[in-house]
Amino acid sequence: AIEEYKKTAKDLVDINTVEVLTEASDLSSGKRIFETNCVACHMSDGGGGIGPNLTDENWILGGGIKNVFKTVSEGGRDGKGMIAWKMSLKPLEIAQVSSYVLQFEDTTPANPKAAEGDIWVNPDAEATPDPAEEVNTQATDTLTVETESGTDGS
């Protein structure tokens, strides 16, 4: 019974159980938290300023929900300014703002800061085939049809 409760209790989220939140109410809360706490360094459109650009595919401490959750919770690199928010935000709020932050990827900020960190590829994502390497699966069989007058057209 406790395990079933944990599956539906969003407030019990942690680095191991966090998943991207997609409900409008969660994303709205994430936006509010971002606008209150994060815009000073990351700008309202995620383009970056003091903090890094959140709109490109590069991540200093790794992308994806678990890495973003950890960075928000524990803070950024030592001496770089990003504080740990775990003392002032509940785990659910960290999940909400982390999910909101992930929505910035592939958007176009007004004044984007240059990309920092490495391009992050989700190790859990299914590999998508390279279109140049796709096998042509078009049928190439031909069908010969005999008519009453024979196959030579006479």
Q: What are phi and psi of 63, to 5 degrees?
A: -95, -170
pTM, whole model, 2 decimals?
0.76
The SS3 assignment for 147 reads strand
Whose tokens are 């929505």? That residue is: 103
Sign of the torsion angle spanned by Cα atoms 107, 108, 110, 116: positive
Number of compact structural domains in the chain: 1
Q: Classify residue 152: in a domain, yes or no.
A: no
Whose tokens are 């959140």? That residue is: 54
pLDDT tens by residue, 105-120: 999 999 999 999 999 9
CB-count exposure of residue 79 (10 Å: 0-12, 13-18, 19+): exposed
Q: Classify residue 77: in a domain, yes or no.
A: yes
pLDDT tens by residue, 22-70: 999 999 999 999 999 999 999 999 999 999 999 999 999 999 999 999 9
Q: Quote the domain boundaries for residue 88.
A: 2-121
Q: Classify residue 131: in a domain, yes or no.
A: no
